[in-house]
Chains A and B, each alone.
Chain A
Amino acid sequence: QITLKESGPTLVKPTQTLTLTCTFSGFSLSTSGVGVGWIRQPPGKALEWLALIYWDDDKRYSPSLKSRLTITKDTSKNQVVLTMTNMDPVDTATYYCAHRPGSGPVDYWGQGTLVTVSS
């Protein structure tokens, strides 16, 4: 079955760069059409899509955050990495990675990791 798990720091300081890793199993990111994305959710607030990377290395970013985000994949390790620069307290959120099968909706989600931005 498909599983995803996020890992990374729980606390970062303002202006620092956040690096999160999504380690997945049950599918391959070299399979045609498959994608992995990152979505975040500030405490008590709505879901916000951040980035997607596809099997062919096509990458998509949220227009409002594009300048701060980089998404990469390591197919051999079944991992996707998201970096976000210049972190601010408003970036405090639970960060989820998720599986997207081709042109369909995100269907499987990780449990999420809470990242707090504070000095």
Chain B
Amino acid sequence: DIVMTQSPDSLAVSLGERATINCKSSQSVLYSSNNKNYLAWYQQKPGQPPKLLIYWASTRESGVPDRFSGSGSGTDFTLTISSLQAEDVAVYYCQQYYSTLGITFGQGTRLEIK
């Protein structure tokens, strides 16, 4: 199993300020043959299924605002929201899809307005 660990568990940021969420995998999710990191980020609001935001560690899903960005490689990754909006209040999850055994999620980071 690849274990995904997010930090912090919760985060309070002022409107318009930057929010940063970290995700660390227990082993590399970088596939050397195509140089792709098999890492995705999801946003989940109450009562809704998760929504895919970022895949291949840094590619924004269609329709996702450009204030959301992903970075990192190997075992360490970051989701950044450049200017927090009220509608960004949610729980954010990272997910690895590298392992042929299956996928795993981080424990989630709750993002609130300060």
Give me the interface of A with B, judged by CB distance under 8 Å.
Answer: 37, 39, 46-49, 51-52, 60-63, 96, 98, 100, 103-107, 109-112
Per a CB cutoff under 8 Å, which of B49, B55, B106 touches A110?
A: B49
Are A105 and B52 in contact (CB-based, < 8 A)?
yes
CA distance A60 to B107 in the complex (A): 21
Identity of the chain A residue whose Cβ is nearest the Cβ of B51 in the assembled complex: A109
* Closest B residue by C-beta to A109: B49
A62 to B105: give the CA distance in the assembly, Å: 12
User: Is the interface on chain B under 10, 10 to 19, 20 to 34, or 35 or more residues?
Assistant: 20 to 34
Would you mind naming 14 contact pairs between A and B with Cβ atoms under 8 Å apart?
A37-B103, A47-B93, A49-B103, A60-B102, A62-B102, A63-B1, A63-B102, A103-B97, A105-B38, A105-B55, A107-B52, A107-B61, A109-B50, A110-B49
**What are the 9 closest A-B residue pairs judged by CB atoms, nearest first?**
A105-B40, A109-B49, A47-B105, A60-B102, A105-B55, A46-B108, A46-B107, A49-B103, A105-B97
Structural contact, A46 and B106, CB atoms closer than 8 A: yes
A48:B105 contact, CB within 8 angstroms: yes
- Interface class of chain B by DSSP: loop
> Which residues from chain B contact A63 at a C-beta distance below 8 Å?
1, 101-102
Contact with A along B82-114 (1 / 0, CB 8 A): 000000000001010100111111111000000
A61 partner, pick from B40, B52, B102, B106, beta carbons under 8 A: B102
